[in-house]
């Protein structure tokens, strides 16, 4: 029997042969992983139908980008975090779990699902770096491990620069680059040696 190894605070990098429309070409940040399952946020699929200003207006909060130039924007994209809980917001951010509903993922990063963090962001009192997503990805106990055995994913420790500083279209290659891999050179054919 193999020893369980948590992938908390790791990236899951979709292999080119993964054809599931929810995960094809994605990088997922794993926020929780234990023997009961895993929870992650897809970090490179921006929502096209919802802008930051619209989300904050729906929540009756000030637009955090009002008065800022496009180069100073606090946040520019809201991401499709995964196929589960589409109606729920998930914010991956720097700093501690100082909000009403937070999970400390690592020494530097947390995941928050309560609106108080959005209020702080809107009023420029929030965390220094953050990523807003609607929905999350979830795996039942043993499901992610099975997918890893099937070579569906590459994994590597997470990196804040990839999470927050890379443009969404470059996050897949940047995450693969942490492993020294050019994702564009990998075959879309699955295989086992």
Which tens digits make up the pLDDT trace of 159-188?
A: 999 999 999 999 999 999 999 999 888 765
Q: Tell whether the model's pLDDT for residue 74 goes beyond 90.
A: no
Alpha-carbon span 161 to 182, nearest angstrom: 18
Give the number of other Cβ atoms within 10 Å of residue 87's Cβ: 6
Q: Tell whether the model's pLDDT for residue 192 goes beyond 70.
A: no
To the nearest whole percent, how much of the chain has pLDDT over 70? 93
- Between 191 and 83, residue with greater pLDDT: 83
Alpha-carbon span 139 to 33, nearest angstrom: 9
CATH H-level, domain 10-185: superfamily? VC0467-like (3.40.1740.10)
Closest C-alpha to 108, from 73, 158, 74: 158
Supply the DSSP symbol for 46.
Answer: B
pLDDT tens digits, 5-32: 999 999 999 999 888 999 999 999 999 9
Question: What is the pLDDT, as a whole number, of residue 105?
Answer: 97
- What is the number of alpha carbons within 13 Å of residue 89 lying toward its C-beta? 21
66 pLDDT band, cuts 50/70/90, is: confident
Minimum mean pLDDT range among 38-42, 48-52, 128-132, 168-172: 48-52
Q: What angle do CA 162, 51, 161 make, to 5 degrees?
A: 10
Closest C-alpha to 26, from 140, 183, 191: 183
Task: For residue 30, give the H/E element and its range.
Answer: strand 27-34
- pTM comes to 0.91
């Amino acid at each position: 029997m193999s020893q369980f190894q948590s992938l908390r605070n790791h990236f899951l990098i979709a292999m080119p042969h993964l054809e599931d429309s929810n995960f094809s070409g994605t990088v997922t940040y794993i926020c929780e992983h234990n023997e009961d399952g895993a929870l992650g946020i897809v970090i490179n699929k921006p929502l096209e139908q919802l802008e930051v200003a619209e989300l904050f207006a729906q929540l009756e909060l000030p637009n955090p980008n009002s008065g800022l130039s496009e180069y100073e924007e606090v946040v520019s994209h809201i991401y499709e975090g995964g196929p589960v809980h589409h109606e729920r917001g998930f914010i991956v951010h720097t700093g501690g779990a100082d909000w009403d509903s937070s999970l400390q993922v690592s020494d530097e990063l947390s995941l928050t699902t309560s609106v108080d963090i959005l209020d702080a962001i809107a009023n420029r009192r929030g965390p220094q770096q953050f990523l807003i997503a609607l929905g999350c990805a979830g795996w039942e106990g043993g499901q992610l491990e099975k997918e890893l055995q099937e070579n569906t994913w590459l994994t590597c420790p997470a990196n804040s620069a990839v999470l927050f500083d890379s443009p969404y279209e470059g996050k897949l290659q940047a995450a693969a680059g942490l492993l020294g891999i050019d994702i564009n050179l990998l075959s879309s054919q699955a295989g086992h040696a």
